[in-house]
A and B are shown apart, each in its own frame.
Chain A
Amino acid sequence: MHPALQALVVVAVAVGGCIAYFYASNLILDKVLFPARGLNAGRNTTRANLIRPWLFLAPAVGLLGLYLAYPVFATAWLSLYGRDDSFVGFENYRLMFAEPKFGESFFNNILWLVVVPAASTAFGLLAAQLTDRIAWGNIAKSLIFMPMAISFVGASVIWKLVYEARPAGQDQIGLPNALYVWFSGADPVQWLQLPLWNNVFLMVVLIWIQSGFAMVILAAALRGIPEETIEAAILDGAGPFQIFFRIKVPQIAGTIVVVWTTITITVLKVFDIVLAMTNGQWETQVLANYMYDKFFRSLDWGMGSAAAMIIMALVTPILIWNVINARREMR
């Protein structure tokens, strides 16, 4: 069967199946198991209501447990096994830490983690403030937000053209090189091969994408600042920059942190950009691509799992922070 047709069938079956499950299970609960009739009507209804949440939750909990919770432990377990399926304990980690490519990936990831969230949040804040009260603000916001809609691979193609270097003496087709050659007369530069700076140029792609996300959220936060605080500052003689940094930013500090941590999580997962533009060459390797390499090129599932656990370790502080905040909010 053609996959598209298969998809339609699956959608119909899944939707029908879900509806059938929820409807039938509720029906059975209410009519068969604990009917609200007769001597035990009250007790039955109470029991039905105790069970019912779990009926609603069952598919979700099942899928979450299988697809997200179980793999965490399974990967941790896998990282303790070698290529020949023998238990090797922490040997995989020891080997991995000794590999120069891992050290490079880890260092690059730290670089990405420090630069990208900060830059994206900063640009987002700048864009949010600048587009706040101008007449064409919505169009501006749309255009800055647009990169979030396209795939990382698409963005990689776009920026690969930007960074393109033609041989010396020929016309340059990428703006940076065109400007560089025009102003300095020197030979065009292979931006993605420059040591250390090539990482920055790769980061620019993610910053370009994520700033729109930061902008949208921070713009809403800026709108939520009470006018009185700003007017009071004006009456006290504050200038626009003082108002921005001393009044506005502190009041949206909570949102800034949320934006920062969300972008940090995305940065840890970045794989497409590095894969598509340099594939880790010229010392641009990052952990997610390193892990993919181990899994699917070296077919070393033990070491790949070890790399995945390192990524998990880097994410854990944010996980704990988010959970603490969520619990605090629920009280």
Chain B
Amino acid sequence: MDATAGKHVMDKIAGRKSGLVWAVHLSAFALVLLWVVPTLGLLVSSFRTGDQIVGSGWWQAVSTQVQQLAAVRIAGEEVARDGLFVIEGQLFAAGTEVNAWGTSSVQPEAYAPGAVADLDGGVTLTVAADGSFVLSSPATMADLRMPRVFATAATPPEFTLDNYGTVIASPLAGQSIGQAFINTLTVAIPATIIPILVAAFAAYALAWMEFPGRALLVAVVVGLLVVPLQLALIPLLQFHNWIGIGKGYLGIWLAHTGFGLPLAIYLLRNYMIGLPRDIIENARVDGATDFQIFTRIVLPLSFPALASFAIFQFLWTWNDLLVALVFLGTGNDQQVLTGNLVNLMGSRGGDWEILSASAFVSILVPLVVFFSLQRFLVRGLLAGSVK
């Protein structure tokens, strides 16, 4: 049997017939759908108005909904016309089609559009299908309590960028997201670059330099990988206070460097060990010092591992909440995106339009970094994990 015929037989026996293939595709699709739906829900919600988000599920965002609208209290300038005092205006957004309306919550659908309601004191109210109203009375309504209008209407889908505008510009939960964005960038970039530098030298030493205690040091690094950083918070805070830097950017840069070093050294060392031995040996024979070998050969060759760790560390520091809360403090001008978002959940938890837009502004950069540099991130994850 030649190779291709053999492969066909294998395919058939291995269950790659159409039946199983269909099942695989369907199951994979269901799994992906399950994973994507939550994020999709929030994304769609961030483009809807607040009323629409709480009025109908996000999956109904593109269809016109018939629903009961929130009650609107009539307001407007009173004018005198034909011997009556009249207030006119528009109750609902353009495009809304009123199906039924009423003036009390007990009977919210008492009247059809265009019908006239008789209220106390000779006051009449009529609401048209397009949402416009006319309130008229023989006497002035200056002291009168304005009636509320309940309506069931078909509201067309309405998409808006307003939420993002509000969230980026105005201070909510302490400060604007725009400011928090800059703060997070200020924390993340030094906290990514500094560990790489320090770890690269250490990784090279642990990979290619012979010295007593090397195995022990590697074991210590592996052990420290696992230490939960909760343990380090209070002693380090005390230490920072003691040396006078207190809470602030310098403290958080140092903290992130310290916490990120075990992983950096581990990843980089694993990669450096895999570099071809001959190149380094030849360089040694040619009389190069370790410093020269490191800077001219190993460092350039290690670029993939450096890139992987850089992405890891950037995402980690960008998404971190605990270290920021502890070492940066909760002062408003130093708040990072995660802290801002947590505060919003507490103070504006019911305002989904604000919450969803803020959430997406805060996860935008990680998503962009992730999708564009996935390759390196995956490579970093795999280093040393596949046995």
Contact = CB atoms under 8 A, between A and B. Distances in A.
Interface of A: 3-4, 6-7, 10-11, 14-15, 18-19, 22-23, 26, 30, 49-50, 52-54, 56-57, 59-61, 63-64, 66-72, 74-75, 78, 123, 126-127, 130-131, 133-134, 137, 140, 142-154, 156-162, 166, 170-175, 178, 208, 211-213, 216-217, 220-221, 224, 230-231, 234-235, 239-240, 243, 254-255, 258-259, 262, 265, 268-269, 271-272, 275-276, 288, 291-292, 295-296, 301, 304-305, 308-309, 311-312, 315, 318-319, 322-323, 326-327, 330
Interface of B: 10, 13-16, 20, 24-25, 27-28, 31-32, 35-39, 41-42, 45, 53-59, 67, 182-183, 185-187, 189-190, 193-194, 197-199, 201-202, 204-206, 209-211, 214-215, 217-236, 238-239, 249-250, 253-255, 257-259, 261-262, 265, 289-291, 294, 315, 318-322, 325-326, 334, 337-338, 341-342, 345, 349, 352, 355-356, 358-359, 362-363, 366-367, 369-371, 374, 378, 381-382, 385-387
A67 B10 contact: no
A178 B211 CA distance: 65
Nearest to B248: A3
B42 A158 contact: yes
A308 B20 CA distance: 50
Contact of B228 (A142, A158, A269): A269
Contact of A154 (B37, B221, B362): B362
Contact of B224 (A69, A175, A220): A69
B342 to A, nearest CB: 5
Contacts of B229: 269
A134 B363 CA distance: 29
The 5 closest A-B pairs by CB, nearest first: A67-B258, A151-B319, A60-B202, A74-B235, A149-B370
A275 B342 contact: yes
Contacts of A56: 201-202, 204-205, 209, 290, 294
Contacts of A330: 215, 218
Contacts of A123: 31
A271 B324 CA distance: 13
Contacts of A220: 382, 386
> SS class of chain B's interface: helix, strand, loop or mixed?
helix
B367 A149 contact: yes
Contacts of A265: 226, 228
A30 B349 CA distance: 63
Given A146-B367, A275-B342, A319-B226, A171 B265 contact: no
A57 B217 contact: yes
B345 A160 contact: yes
Contact of B24 (A75, A134, A145): A134
B366 A151 contact: yes
B56 A173 contact: yes
Contact of B385 (A231, A259, A308): A259
Contact of A173 (B57, B218, B315, B349): B57
Nearest to B182: A4
Contacts of A52: 209, 289-291
A158 B190 contact: no
Nearest to A159: B38
A316 B370 CA distance: 32
A272 B355 contact: no
Contacts of A322: 222-223, 225-226
29 contacts: A4-B186, A7-B186, A14-B190, A26-B291, A52-B209, A57-B217, A66-B239, A67-B236, A68-B258, A75-B234, A123-B31, A130-B27, A146-B36, A149-B315, A149-B370, A151-B320, A151-B362, A157-B358, A160-B349, A161-B38, A175-B57, A208-B35, A212-B35, A216-B378, A230-B14, A234-B10, A258-B385, A269-B230, A315-B227
Contacts of B255: 67
Q: Among B190, B198, B204, B233, find the residue whose CB has the most chain A CB atoms closer than 10 A.
A: B198
B233 A327 contact: no
Q: Among A19, A67, A220, A269, find the residue whose CB has the most chain B CB atoms closer than 10 A.
A: A67
Nearest to A7: B186
A78 B235 contact: yes
A137 B28 CA distance: 9
A121 to B, nearest CB: 13
Contacts of A71: 231-236
Contacts of A127: 28, 31
Contacts of B215: 327, 330
B322 A149 contact: no
Given A63-B261, A151-B366, A157-B356, A72 B223 contact: no
A75 B185 CA distance: 31
Contacts of A4: 182, 185-186
A26 to B, nearest CB: 4
Contact of A161 (B25, B42, B325): B42
A308 B230 contact: yes
B209 to A, nearest CB: 4
A53 B205 contact: yes
A130 B28 contact: yes
Nearest to A307: B230
B289 A26 contact: yes
Contacts of B253: 10
A283 to B, nearest CB: 20
Contacts of B227: 68, 72, 312, 315, 319
Given A52-B209, A157-B355, A66 B258 contact: yes
Nearest to B60: A171
B341 A305 contact: no
Contacts of B228: 265, 268-269, 288, 308, 311-312, 315
A11 B188 CA distance: 11
Contacts of B209: 52-53, 56
Contacts of B362: 151, 153-154
A47 to B, nearest CB: 12
Contacts of B223: 319, 322-323
A15 to B, nearest CB: 6
Contacts of B59: 175
A196 to B, nearest CB: 22
A234 B318 CA distance: 48
Contacts of A292: 230, 322
A255 B183 CA distance: 38
B231 A144 contact: no
Contact of B222 (A175, A295, A326): A326
A195 B356 CA distance: 28
B154 to A, nearest CB: 14
